[in-house]
Amino acid sequence: MEPKEREGDEEGDERSEDLGEKSKEDVSTTTTSTTTSTEQTDGVGVACGRAWWGCLLLLTLLALTTRQMSLEQPPGTLWDEVHFGTFTNHYLNHTLYHDVHPPLGKIAVAGLAWLAGYDGSFEFKVGTVYPKNVNFVAMRSMMAVFGASLVPLTFLIVWEVSSSLPAASLAALCVLCDTFMHRLNTLLLLDPLLLSALLAAVLGSFKFHAHRHRAWSRAWWGWMAYTAFCLGVVVSIKYVGVFTVGVVGVQTAYHLVSLALDPRRPLWVVLPHTAVRAVVFVSVSSVVYLSAFLLHFLLLTKASVNGGGFCHTEFYASFEGNEYENVTFPEHVHYGANITIQNSRPLCGYLESWYDLFPASVTAPCQQVTSATVRDDELLMWTIKKVDVEAGSVLDGSGEGEAVLVRSGDHVMLTHAATGRSLRSHGHRAPVTRRQLQVCGYGDDGVGGPFETWQLLVVGAPLGTPLSVVRQSFLLRHYKMECYLRANEMVKLPEEWAFNGAKEVTCTRNKDDTGLQWHVNWNNSPKLGAGVPARSLSVGLWGKIVHQHFTMFIGNAALVDMKGEERHARPWMWPVLWQVQTLGSYVMNETSGEEHYAVGMTNPYVTYLNLICLAATPMLALAHAFYGKRRPHQSPVAVEDRREVLAACGWLGLCWAGHYLPFFFMSRVLYYHHYCPSYLFSCMITGVIISWTCRSLSRRWRVKGRETVHLLLLTACGASVVASYVAFFPLATYVKGVQFEKNPRLNPYLDYLYAGQLWPEFGYRMEEYVSFSSTTIGYWNHSNFANTDLNATLYFATPLNFTAEERPAISPVPASSYALWASRAAL
């Protein structure tokens, strides 16, 4: 499958790179006999350059005009404007923040907001009306310009792969008349920037390979560098841009293989072509990508409140205005010191405890120990003590004696400074992660025993190495249970009995689990005197970039919460409009209850038309293969036409599949807007298929009326798309009405397009939308305990086989006593 070869595409051809000249003799203004002899693939005769430019300029003008409509409605924050508006505040105030996306798109949004006169003072919250001093209309207006660029980019891509003016015009018209593309691309989101950069990269790739017969020319080098630049921009906005890199990579590999199989060229020619592509694509896109992070950290110089729990301490300490400013503490830790402990894995947070107990209905009712990203020194401080496992005694270390350093391999006890309870694990199961053991606080006034004893192992250091703060991570292995202290960024405890945002801390026997490494976040070791400045323990610029990537990747993996405000949708739902999104709503009339709200829904007519054309493409390929075998006397014009249409749809289908199928392998929460890149390519396929269909139907007429019939069919198809846009236009801007009415009729035509859960937010499932559901602990059952490693321990206080009705009362393992000490062999 390859885009149509154009005449004159031979090595050394001096064809102009200008788009108007490149579009061959079939769009030039010359009407010589040689051009009239060239039959056009779109069947409408000789197209002139004026028609080509007229269509492109008209569609672009319509896109710019329509995208500027009703930007002021609804008058408050819509959907993810809350997030990206907040990030804008961080850039304008130069404060650190955490997010799962690369920074370039957010920097661009902040720059547009700054151009609109915004000063970063508005607090973006869900359901908040914009105040008069925030010119949100100007900000949305500038974003709409990027959204409007999708229309001409679509036109140019389809023209590049098909050389058909009707196909390019119909595809661009489908994008122009789509309601979700209109609404999504007029908000303060990353999507307008992402989609425009994505299409620009794909266009550059097609243009580059169109110059493959002019290898090493300036135009060839220029389009290659342009494509690499756009790929760097796409990946720097969102990581779904990797799909675009994959699509361009497949296209590049295809042409390199074609070059290798060309008998007219020596095989060694492939080597310089491969090397140049690899060097240019990797180097240019990498420079763009790294430059985005460099700019990111040049803008963000100040620490944010409670921002340290999301990232490693050595990363957070490198910013100004945090708790490490002008602070020194000893590099090592002595016994009896008060320390705070943070997990070295981003998003896990600090080790903390408080007086509240775990509910007896789910696990042993001892004091809660959790992790949290909010720093509260009263809850985070732990006193570290040394345990002599042979003598069964504890060295407090708080007296006036000589300081004893904490070393790798020591057995320690950690006592919560505020409550006096010690860190403990025993035979009870964790409250949520049932196959791991509970971690809690136990004992009064620092009393402890074997169940409160942990062996501290410094990662990557031999036994006996003194523990260094911040930069050295360590494991805590339980003395009795032979398990490791673990934090899990994926598991939040129920808010019914745990503080908001608290995450589960467990003890796991799988030493390959994530979240096992901890480090000393703060050190109060008075016997060691003054030490090093805390800021000197931080990382430099490259260290920041590495830590930032680690945090982003873990944050992306952690997006599995399905109880957000917007209802998630799986990929199979997207092409069939099974479920849509609510972007926000505002009551405009308190008396009548009338609301203005935005809906994330593509134009149903265009959506189902795309679905039909996607299904028609493989059917056309089968028909083409069948006719080639069974009908040898077909018209050469028809055969060539089908071949070119299939080639164009093949490349566009690759782009569609490359941006759609990977989502089926993702476990993270997904929404309908993730289908937008693939949706654009499905509109392109629709333009090509409909144009070919109209052209094929018109061939059945006599020659004299063929062009008229062709024009009428194209006009009818285009008019139907425009009519659907007019009919569903409220979906493109805002909808008036009462949102949760019994049988909503936002538009009289929409009820006929109901598919599955098309309108769950608007009445069908109102209770799901307005109610708040939180994590709950279900009934225990035998399948939860199918773990031979856990069942083998001698210290379970909970029977392993019982039904929910027979569930016994749970009590902690008896209080620790040194009489319980036993040798390892006894275990």
Q: What is the 3-state secondary structure (H, E, C) of 287-308?
A: HHHHHHHHHHHHHCCECCCCCH
CB count within 10 Å of CB 310 equals 22
Is the whole-model pTM more than 0.85?
no
Q: How many whole angstroms separate alpha carbon 408 and alpha carbon 615?
A: 63
pLDDT tens string 62-75: 999 999 998 988 88
Q: What is the pLDDT of residue 282?
A: 94
**Across the chain, which distance is largest between two alpha carbons, in Å?**
109
- Binning the chain into helix, strand and coil, the percentages to the nearest 5 are 45, 15, 40
Identify the residue whose tokens are 């559901």: 773
Q: What is the pLDDT of residue 109?
A: 94
Distances (CA, A) of 823 to 457, 479, 506, 605: 20, 10, 24, 74
Distances (CA, A) of 595 to 75, 244, 460: 11, 39, 60
SS3 assignment, position 332 = strand
Beta-carbon contacts of residue 201 (< 8 Å; ≥ 6 apart): 227, 230, 231, 233, 234, 244, 248
Distances (CA, A) of 571 to 363, 495, 666, 667: 38, 30, 10, 11
pLDDT tens string 36-94: 333 444 444 444 578 899 999 999 999 999 999 989 888 889 888 999 999 999 999 99
Residues of the chain with pLDDT under 70: 1-48, 558-567, 702-703, 738-827
Instruction: Fill in the amino acid letter for 30.
Output: T
Q: What is the pLDDT of residue 50?
A: 84
Identify the residue whose tokens are 């799901």: 768
SS3 assignment, position 198 = helix
Q: Which two tokens stand for residue 64?
A: 């710019």
Cβ 675 vs Cβ 662: under 8 Å? no
Beta-carbon contacts of residue 650 (< 8 Å; ≥ 6 apart): 1
Whether omega for the bond prior to residue 74 falls within 30 degrees of 0, making it cis, is yes
Q: Which two tokens stand for residue 433?
A: 């992660």
Q: What is the pLDDT of residue 450?
A: 87
Residue 103 backbone phi and psi in degrees, to 5: -90, -15
Residue 382 backbone phi and psi in degrees, to 5: -125, 140
DSSP secondary structure letters along 744-769: --SSTTGGGG--SBSSGGGTTTHHHH
Q: What is the 3-state secondary structure (H, E, C) of 542-602?
A: HHHHHHHHHHHHHHHHCCCCCCCCCCCCCHHHCCCCCECEEEEEEEEECCCCEEEEEEECC
Q: Residue 163's Cα: distance from chain center in Å?
A: 35
Cβ 443 vs Cβ 422: under 8 Å? yes
Q: How many whole angstroms separate alpha carbon 748 and alpha carbon 377?
A: 59
